[in-house]
Structure 1
């Protein structure tokens, strides 16, 4: 990050920040933290599909284990004695998502945030960060998580941010929490972070063209779903930023012809070049699952394009060389990921905070000695 914040971080020598990433997924948060300058030592997840992309792209170990069964001692050994300890994570958010209208406290995932809280209690890290869907802020389990942090002496700050404002080429609202035992903390503003919003064209406009159902020979992840005959006619009738309401009536799905379906225009749509993409979901590779049609080409976006719109680097490796690409599995990893750039914002915010706290402590010591 080439801005004043980055220069400020490096201006004061201090203890290095070491991190463990719970619910690490394919490594979006870890990769962003590392870009900011945090040394992430370990990622933990229950999904074996996460291991290869996490390890292949990040200089960190991977532990396949449920957080419910995790002991603090298994994490403690990955920190360094003289470093600042960061515990990071994004508990599975589907149960809190606006897409899940049937979420209840009986869902096991509802309580994983409290397992995160348990590990904070047992590890007592200097810093904590948590990223999740905005709807979590309305839940009692979140209030309990925050109260526990404050009760253990942490300064806590949290807010909902639009990732597009920080340079993620996607409209994605996320809840970000930061907590510190070093003093008051806050997330950098978009102006402080120094990156402007990016459009779909800036992000994926230079990728090689594809036909529906094909892949690029030099990048197996740059592949897109096949389209049925009716869906090919539908995408050809779609305009960038439009909806299925623009189609001839014979192309409209029966469910949308009913009065109950007329209020759901945000499917079967093309993205527009000059705006950020819509929120990437785990089903982004399907034309009928949202506004995931390519702005120009008659196809849904590819897995690689979805990853780039999640701000993963264009060469981020999700499968082993020669391994068959499963669209459903890789799409899930990409859609569930923390955008890399948001991880970088979080990391830069934490390091800026540590730098300021270090300078404040140094000034305090000097005053004490002079008295």
Structure 2
């Protein structure tokens, strides 16, 4: 059986996807105790470490065939990164060097790294790729909308395929039929509130009015941000990107409610039996930071098929 380790494992999207692809994840690490706690609850046969991976002792990490990693993305994001004047995220970009360190010590057959597409615009990205190439690997960037892999969510992400090959390996990723948001939304559940009430923002009321004209009495809309901000969006298409904060609202006639944590996990393609915190806010934060498990599974399967 193919074995793997998961760096910056978070809530376990990579690990869940790898398991579904028949890969055994031996070891997972994250610096946030809450993430490690819930990753361990859902993956009891994986060894867990709560650690800043800049300080990792790679000799204590089991040998493996495949490295999986999702280095911190906030420093690269247009919304929250350096370009937006957030120097607190400057150091987060350096987490990507842990991937190089792990590859250098263990020399696995390959690796998969997930991040936002802006990662390739990082000033040190060419040096990072050169370091990986110096270890005998090739790096192939893939920009993927996870909806094309069967995830019921439009989520565009960068997947870097790291292989021991003469040339970068471009995976054959078959485009799946899009799964609509109605597949996981429950308009008969949850706590609803009247749309018209004191304090409701005019922009919200205008968005709902436009949404009704386009989609009828049931649709979803963002509470902030761009994209579907003026019109809402149909439940017959995948939902927009799940973020670490409450973003999406459901509209039903004259009522509305925010997306539930369970619906957010379903939008991310986590299995229905995934254990999660009671805290809605904590669950949303971990879900919004995760790799969609189904996207991870499809990409791992494509890599194994090409090996």
1:34-76 CA-partner distances (Å, limit 9, x unpaired): 111111111100111112321222231221111011011121x
Alpha-carbon distance change, 207 to 18 in structure 1, aligned in 2, over 3 angstroms = farther
In structure 1, the residue matched to 2:65 is 85
SS at match of 2:4: strand
SS at match of 1:332: helix
Runs of 4+ in structure 1 displaced over 3 angstroms? Answer: 103-106, 205-208, 231-243, 263-271
SS at match of 2:136: coil
Alpha-carbon distance change, 177 to 205 in structure 1, aligned in 2, over 3 angstroms = same
Pick from 156, 167, 170: which aligns with 1:186? 170
Which structure's residues are more often strand, by fraction? 2
In structure 2, the residue matched to 1:199 is 180
In structure 2, the residue matched to 1:246 is none
Matched-pair contact (CA < 8 Å) for 2:206–2:230: no
TM superposition shift of 1:305: 0.6
Pick from 2, 9, 22: which aligns with 1:37? 22
How many residue pairs get matched? 287
Q: Quick check: 1:313 aligned with 2:260?
A: no
Matched-pair contact (CA < 8 Å) for 1:25–1:333: yes
In structure 1, the residue matched to 2:259 is 301
Q: Quick check: 1:274 aligned with 2:236?
A: yes
Q: Quick check: 1:230 aligned with 2:199?
A: yes
Q: Which structure 1 residue ranges, 5 or more long, are not aligned?
A: 1-15, 214-226, 244-260, 320-324, 355-371
TM-score, structure 1 as length reference: 0.70
Q: Which structure 2 residue ranges, 5 or more long, are not aligned?
A: 213-223
Alignment of 1:239-278 (within 5 A): 239=208, 242=211, 267=229, 270-278=232-240
Matched-pair contact (CA < 8 Å) for 1:268–1:293: no
TM-score, structure 2 as length reference: 0.83
CA distance in 2, matches of 1:96, 1:174: 12
Matched-pair contact (CA < 8 Å) for 1:130–1:176: yes
Pick from 42, 52, 66: which aligns with 1:66? 52
CA distance in 1, matches of 2:35, 2:250: 27
Q: Quick check: 1:96 aligned with 2:49?
A: no
Q: Quick check: 1:340 aligned with 2:293?
A: yes
SS at match of 2:208: coil
Which structure's residues are more often helix, by fraction? 1
Matched-pair contact (CA < 8 Å) for 1:67–1:116: no
Matched-pair contact (CA < 8 Å) for 1:27–1:54: yes
Pick from 2, 5, 8: which aligns with 1:23? 8
Pick from 5, 15, 39: which aligns with 1:54? 39
In structure 2, the residue matched to 1:157 is 140
Greater radius of gyration (CA): 1
RMSD after superposition: 2.9
1:277-306 CA-partner distances (Å, limit 9, x unpaired): 1111101x2xxxx4x111435101001111
Alpha-carbon distance change, 326 to 228 in structure 1, aligned in 2, over 3 angstroms = farther
CA distance in 1, matches of 2:207, 2:228: 12
SS at match of 1:96: coil
Alpha-carbon distance change, 128 to 264 in structure 1, aligned in 2, over 3 angstroms = closer
Q: Quick check: 1:211 aligned with 2:191?
A: yes
